[in-house]
Amino acid sequence: MTAALEVRELYMTFSGVDALSSVSLSVPQGTWMGLIGPNGSGKSTMLNVLSGLYKPRAGAVVVSGSDLGRVPARSRIKHGVCRTFQHPQLAASLTILENVMVGAVRGRGASADDETGLQWLARLGCAEYAEHLPAEVPYGVQKRAEVARALISEPSLLLLDEPAAGLSARERAELVAALREVREVLPDLTLCLVEHDVGLVASVCTELAVLSAGKLIAHGPTDEVLADDAVKLAYLGSRSTT
């Protein structure tokens, strides 16, 4: 079966420094993969390469069998790739629902109507804010509205960039509940979740990929990866081994 996402020998260099070095991984359809690693390990770079914002120095990104090497960022949504941002990128003068519907302009959910948008907002627990402007709603709602906007494009690969960053404990709990709801509704969706909160990642992802200094140091089932000594070392430093 064709992998939902296949990354082959990816290299990304900034001013001579390798931000990603020889990263290869394959993610089967329907897998929720957490992409973790310490600060500066290359997680965000990886997400930017997958979404087409960065052009890698070498390597290939293949989504559902299509090589996206020559596909610019603005066209990736037609290949089923959609993402959210660490800081929500919503149009300030559009209501939350209108923002969600922008996801249907070029995505594969072109036939989606306002009802579908409201349905996604409801599943993510923020339907009551549909008619509000982004600046009038809590930060957590802005982040979930971005997820709804991405989902209405009917992606096959959803990239979430630190969805829990800046959220309160309660908002994190709401986010986890919302993500579980998404997984139930869309069992075939493949998810790549970049997040600092390893506990949150472990609670929703079945697989983990760990980056350290631009290299993939572990990839596999969540439990196994968390028990991996190299991962503990990368995350907690040498003290964890003493």
Partner 1 sequence: MELLQTSLILGVVVGIVYSLSGAGLVVIFRTSGYISFTQGDIAAVGLFVGLAAYNSGAGYVWTALLVIAVSTLVGGLVGALITVPLEKHGHLPAALSTIATALIISGLLNLTVGGDPRSFPEVSRSEALSILGVQMSWSDVAGVLVSASVFIGLGVFFSRSRMGVAMRAVNDNKLAGELLGVPDRRLKLVSWTVAGALSGLLGLFVAPILSLSTVSVNTLLVFGFCAIVIGGFDSIFGALVAGTAIGVMTNLTSTYLDPNLVPTVLWASMLLVLLVRPNGLFGRRKLVRV
Contact residues toward partner 1 (CB under 8 A) are 51-53, 73-78, 82-83, 85, 89-94, 98-99, 101-107, 133, 135-136, 149, 153
Closest CB 135 distance from partner 1, rounded Å: 3
Q: Tell me the C-alpha to C-alpha distance, in Å, between residue 85 and each of 109, 143, 189.
A: 20, 8, 18
Residue 24 beta carbon to partner 1: minimum distance, rounded to whole angstroms: 25
Q: Which is nearer to partner 1, 165 or 176 (CB)?
A: 165
- Report in angstroms how near the CB of residue 142 gets to partner 1 at its nearest: 10
CA distance 112 to 154: 10
Closest approach, Cβ 119 to partner 1, in A, equals: 17
Where are the extended beta strands (E) located within the chain?
Answer: 5-14, 17-27, 32-36, 58-63, 66-67, 81-83, 157-161, 190-194, 207-212, 215-221
For partner 1, which is the closer residue by CB, 2 or 89? 89
Of 1 and 135, which has the nearer Cβ to partner 1? 135
Contact at 8 Å (CB) between 52 and 76? Answer: yes
**Shortest distance (Å) from residue 92 CB to partner 1:** 5
Shortest distance (Å) from residue 78 CB to partner 1: 6
Q: Residue 48 — φ and ψ, nearest 5°? A: -70, -35
Nearer to partner 1, 42 or 134 (CB): 134
| Cα–Cα dist 98/208, whole Å | 34
* Calpha distance 42→167 (Å, rounded): 22
> Please, which residue, 53 or 198, has the CB nearer to partner 1?
53
Direct distance between the N- and C-terminal alpha carbons of the chain, in angstroms, rounded to an integer = 43
Query: Residue type for 199, please?
Result: G
Of 108 and 232, nearer to partner 1 (C-beta) is 108
In angstroms, rounded to a whole number, what is the distance separating the alpha carbons of residues 150 and 193?
Answer: 13
Q: Output the smallest distance, CB 146 to partner 1, in A.
A: 8
**Cα torsion angle, 86, 158, 7, 72, sign:** negative
Nearer residue to partner 1 within complex by CB, 126 or 218: 126
Beta-bridge mates of residue 59? none
